[in-house]
């Protein structure tokens, strides 16, 4: 994805217009894009800065190409690249050794004379003899830990130039969403899939039914989140390609524009943007996946069901992450909370109260609970992974309560 610095956007009468390369005006960009792919495919072993310079040269005679657009294209190409890195810090160690030797020869000059007697070429040759390696090899390793000097190892690339341009258009919208305060998505056809993608991205959201088989999802944007803003902003932007892969939706987002104004970004499934997003995994998060693997299909009379029903209460909708069904018919739902704000947790508790006729467990990160504050029977706390023991204990309590309720009635 792009960074905020690589975003190109216009604000026109309260509307947000991200940069977009369209067939009519930018048809010739297909040739440019193919040349960029060729530069990277043929650039194995070359430094990142050299590849970027070649990309800039492609657009040297193009009047309709701001520098930000070039940098954005470079970023998208780099995202599909693997560069040599220096995880052991060998470059820093090599610099320390080389500079320590060269310090005794300071100052170095191109042409030595009586005043400055140490020439650069002679110094490099002397260092190469001391290290027992050619200077070209030493020089190649001096800055291997600096991004600009990293060398390209492999390039996964894009199928063709058109795919690169399509990815660019989507990436510019994603960059706009970093500044979103709130986003609403009205969905019909692919509502469950859209919701699944939202949960996969661990976005803060609320759901309302707005008609037969029509729902409105309201998302807290990165500009409204107080904690883990950068991480949440990345997740928020990643949701967009997933949304583009679905049908039957329209989106509206309130963006924090410059000069302390707010503008709207609007999008729908007929705007012609193409998604590169792969088929989503079975689970919405690694926490869910790990827990399901530990639980298995059945345990102590309980069966774990991944796809639960949609619960309605007037305009409010609740879709649990898991449904536990006991062999005697008792059913307990479970919702797992990832990213959070106090307001989000308050809204979640309000939703759960509206569905109090159902037995629901809610799994919360421990950091959401203040020290010394007791939690209810329906709450399971976790650190980084949801463990079996507290969940099974909570299920046992819920089962006993349901049986007692049945006996009293």
Taking the C-alpha atoms of residue 146 and residue 30, their distance in angstroms, rounded to an integer, is: 32
Structure confidence at residue 163 as a pLDDT band (50, 70, 90): very high
**pLDDT average, residue stretch 31-42:** 97
Helix (H) or strand (E) holding 219: strand 214-220
Please give the helix or strand (H or E) that residue 290 lies within, else none: helix 286-295
For residues 254 and 221, the answer to whether their CB atoms sit within 8 Å is: yes
Q: What is the pLDDT of residue 320?
A: 82
Whether residue 182 contacts residue 212, with contact meaning beta carbons closer than 8 Å, is answered with no
Q: Which residues pair with 266 in a beta bridge?
A: 252
* Pairing between β-strand 205-211 and β-strand 214-220 as defined by DSSP bridges: antiparallel
Structure tokens at 279: 């088929």
- 18's tokens: 């991200």
Per-residue pLDDT band for 1 (boundaries 50, 70, 90) equals confident
**What are the φ/ψ torsions at residue 270 (nearest 5 degrees)?**
-110, 10
Across the chain, which distance is largest between two alpha carbons, in Å?
A: 107
Residue pair 202/308 in contact (Cβ under 8 Å)? The answer is: no
Whole-number pLDDT of residue 280: 54
Look at residue 188 and give its three-state secondary structure: coil
What's the mean pLDDT in 332-351? 80
What pLDDT, on a 0 to 100 scale, did the predictor assign at position 278? 62
Greater model confidence, 47 or 227: 47
pLDDT (0 to 100) of residue 371: 66
pLDDT band at 167 (very low <50, low <70, confident <90, very high): very high
Rounded CA gap, 336 and 324, in Å?
14
Q: Which is more confident, 1 or 254?
A: 254
Mean pLDDT of the chain: 88
Right CATH number for 178-280 from 3.30.9, 3.20.20, 1.10.3470, 3.30.70? 3.30.70
Question: 243-297 pLDDT, tens per residue?
Answer: 999 989 999 999 998 887 899 999 999 999 998 876 556 666 788 889 999 999 8
pLDDT of 187-225, one tens digit each?
988 887 888 788 888 888 888 888 877 889 999 999 887
* pLDDT of res. 404: 85
Asked whether the beta carbons of 1 and 133 are under 8 A apart, the reply is no
Identify the pLDDT of residue 374. 58
**Average pLDDT score over residue span 20-24:** 93
99-154 confidence digits (pLDDT tens)? 998 888 888 888 888 888 888 898 899 899 999 999 888 888 888 888 999 999 99
Residue 35 has pLDDT above 90, yes or no: yes
Question: What mean pLDDT is predicted for residues 228-237?
Answer: 84
pLDDT at 173 over 70: yes
Tokens of 35: 């040349």
**Gyration radius of the chain over CA positions:** 28
Q: Average pLDDT in the 385-392 region?
A: 93
Predicted local distance difference test score (pLDDT) of residue 315: 52
End-to-end Cα spacing for the chain: 58
Six-digit token pair at 310? Answer: 């949609």
Residue 273: helix, strand or coil by DSSP? coil
Residue 306 has pLDDT above 80, yes or no: no
Number of helical H runs and strand E runs in the chain: 13, 17
Q: If you ran DSSP here, which 8-state letter would residue 369 be given?
A: S
DSSP 36-53: HHHHHHT-TT-BHHHHHH
What pLDDT score does 204 carry? 87
Distant-in-sequence, close-in-space partners of 8: CB < 8 Å, separation ≥ 6: 18, 19, 66, 68, 69, 72, 172
Q: 349 vs 56, which has greater pLDDT?
A: 56
pLDDT score recorded for residue 402: 86
Q: For strand 359-365 and strand 316-318, is the pairing parallel, antiparallel, or unpaired?
A: unpaired
Say what the pLDDT of residue 59 is: 97
Contacts of 259 (CB under 8 A, 6+ apart): none
Give the span between the Cα atoms of 341 and 346, in whole angstroms: 9
* β pairing state of 331-336 and 359-365: parallel
pLDDT at 373 > cutoff 60: no
Q: Is 384 exposed, middle or buried (0-12, 13-18, 19+ CB in 10 A)?
A: exposed
pTM score of the predicted model? 0.70
Give Cβ neighbours of residue 106 (< 8 Å, ≥ 6 apart): 118
Cα–Cα dist 163/166, whole Å: 5
In angstroms, rounded to a whole number, what is the distance separating the alpha carbons of residues 352 and 406? 22
Amino acid 211: pLDDT: 81
Mean pLDDT value across residues 321-331: 91
Q: Say if CB 48 and CB 146 are below 8 A apart.
A: no
Beta bridge partners of 376: none
- Tokens (6 digits) for 86: 């220096």
Q: What is the pLDDT of residue 372?
A: 55
């Amino acid at each position: 994805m792009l960074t905020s610095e690589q975003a190109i956007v216009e604000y026109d009468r309260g509307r947000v217009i991200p940069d977009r390369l369209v067939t009519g005006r930018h048809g010739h960009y297909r040739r440019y894009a193919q040349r960029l792919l060729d530069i990277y495919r043929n650039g194995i072993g070359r430094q990142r800065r050299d590849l970027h310079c070649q990309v800039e040269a492609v657009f040297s005679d193009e009047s309709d190409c701001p520098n930000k657009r070039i940098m954005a294209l470079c970023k998208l190409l780099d995202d599909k690249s693997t560069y040599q890195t220096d995880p052991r810090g060998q470059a820093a160690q090599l610099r320390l050794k080389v500079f320590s030797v060269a310090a005794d020869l300071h100052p170095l000059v191109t042409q030595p004379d009586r005043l400055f007697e140490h020439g650069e070429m002679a110094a490099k040759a002397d260092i190469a003899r001391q290290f027992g390696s050619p200077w070209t090899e030493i020089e190649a390793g001096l800055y291997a830990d600096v991004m600009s000097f990293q060398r390209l190892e492999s390039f996964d690339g894009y199928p063709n130039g058109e795919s690169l341009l399509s990815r660019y258009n989507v990436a510019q919208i994603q960059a706009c969403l970093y500044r979103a305060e709130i986003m609403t998505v009205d969905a019909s056809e692919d509502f469950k899939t859209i919701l699944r993608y939202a949960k996969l991205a661990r976005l803060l959201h609320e759901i309302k039914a707005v008609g037969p088989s029509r729902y409105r999802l309201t998302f807290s944007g990165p500009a409204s989140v107080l904690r883990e803003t950068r991480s949440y902003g990345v997740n928020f932007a990643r949701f967009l390609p997933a949304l583009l892969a679905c049908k039957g939706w329209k989106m509206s987002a309130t963006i924090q524009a410059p000069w302390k104004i707010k503008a709207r970004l609007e999008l729908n499934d007929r705007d012609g943007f193409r998604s590169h997003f792969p088929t989503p995994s079975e689970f919405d998060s690694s926490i869910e996946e790990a827990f399901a693997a530990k639980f298995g299909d059945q345990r102590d009379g309980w069966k774990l069901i991944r796809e639960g029903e949609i619960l309605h209460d007037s305009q409010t909708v609740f879709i649990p992450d898991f449904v536990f069904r006991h062999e005697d018919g008792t059913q307990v739902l479970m919702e797992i909370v990832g990213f959070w704000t106090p307001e989000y947790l308050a809204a979640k508790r309000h939703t759960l109260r509206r569905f109090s006729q159902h037995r629901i467990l809610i799994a919360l990160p421990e950091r959401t609970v203040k020290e010394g504050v007791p939690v209810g029977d329906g709450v399971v706390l976790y650190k980084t992974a949801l463990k079996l023991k507290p969940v099974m204990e909570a299920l046992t309590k819920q089962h006993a309560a349901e049986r007692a309720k049945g006996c009293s009635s």
